[in-house]
């Protein structure tokens, strides 16, 4: 994919991103944000089933601009179950696609704020307008921070990565979030960035309160994925004594404060 040109409200992209993302409602939302919260939109830095994230310029530096796909099939098939049962959105009607889309954007903003209040490193939410969420940018002007999945265990730059520290930090994040009353719901090496020698949690639209009917199931899945990833990474370390981590059931008890 070619990088798009920075724009006021003109965008040049190859492929389907332009067609799928920039419908009229999204363009109007971006236009409103460009009049106050952001100065410019640069190019896509991440693309998934739910959204496309763009690098941009805010009033005080770089920002990440997350645009939720207006035509995403995941919108109708997957989002509802994470919204229904969340007392924060009990009074909202979810009968229309737009309502679900806009609620999802607000939900991610609220989740980011709640998780940050727990002492977990996340992008800072700046503004939300319809299906567009503006957040602080994690990375530098050259590129966004890498995901944990993209960090290896060999090579000169990799030797500085303390995988056991990252494991302890991520498990402590889960404990802090649970204590704050929230579960990530999709935590894995795909939703953890590495920046300033620390892990940063991203993609929290699906995160639910611990009172949600799916909370315990999602917590178990989060723990199993995290334990599996770090067990593999720590087992791959060369020239060092292999480090074993706790099993998923022990980590769950720790997260719940039962140990």
Residue 23 annotated in active site:
no
CA distance from start to end of the chain: 49
Contacts of residue 35, defined as CB under 8 A and 6 or more positions apart, other chains included, come to none
> What is the spatial distance between Cα 80 and Cα 148, in angstroms, rounded to a whole number?
28
Task: Kindly name the residue from 86, 110, 203, 222 that is annotated as catalytic.
Answer: 203
Please return the burial class of 60, using the count of CB atoms within 10 Å of its CB with bins 0-12, 13-18 and 19+: exposed
* Pair 67, 132: CB distance under 8 Å: yes
According to DSSP, residue 4 is labeled: P
What is the three-class DSSP state of 40? strand
Residue 203 annotated in active site:
yes
User: Which strands sit side by side in the sheet containing 38-47, from one edge to the other?
Assistant: 38-47, 51-58, 61-68, 132-136, 125-129
Task: Kindly name the residue from 186, 197, 222, 250 that is annotated as catalytic.
Answer: 186
Catalytic residues: 186, 203
């Amino acid at each position: 994919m070619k990088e798009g040109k920075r724009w006021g409200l003109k965008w040049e992209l190859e492929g389907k991103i332009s067609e799928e993302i920039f419908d009229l409602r999204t363009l109007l939302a971006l236009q409103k944000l460009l009049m106050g919260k952001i100065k410019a939109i640069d190019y896509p830095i991440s693309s998934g089933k739910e959204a496309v994230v763009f690098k941009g310029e805010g009033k005080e530096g770089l920002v990440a601009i997350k645009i939720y796909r207006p035509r995403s099939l995941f919108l109708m098939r997957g989002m509802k179950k994470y919204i229904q049962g969340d007392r924060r959105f009990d009074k909202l009607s979810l009968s229309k696609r737009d309502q679900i889309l806009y609620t999802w954007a607000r939900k991610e903003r609220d989740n980011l704020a709640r998780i940050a209040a727990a002492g977990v490193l996340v992008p800072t939410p700046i503004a939300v307008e319809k299906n567009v969420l503006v957040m602080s940018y994690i990375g530098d002007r050259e590129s966004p921070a890498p995901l944990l999945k993209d960090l290896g265990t060999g090579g000169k730059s990799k030797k500085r990565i303390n995988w056991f520290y990252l494991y302890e930090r991520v498990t402590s994040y889960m404990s802090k979030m649970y204590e704050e009353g929230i579960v990530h719901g999709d935590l894995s090496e795909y939703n953890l960035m590495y920046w300033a020698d620390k892990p940063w949690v991203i993609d929290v639209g699906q995160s639910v309160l611990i009172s949600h009917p799916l909370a315990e199931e999602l917590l178990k899945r989060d723990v199993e994925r995290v334990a599996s990833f770090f067990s593999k990474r720590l087992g791959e370390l060369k020239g060092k004594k292999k480090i074993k981590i706790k099993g998923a059931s022990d980590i769950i008890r720790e997260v719940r404060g039962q140990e």
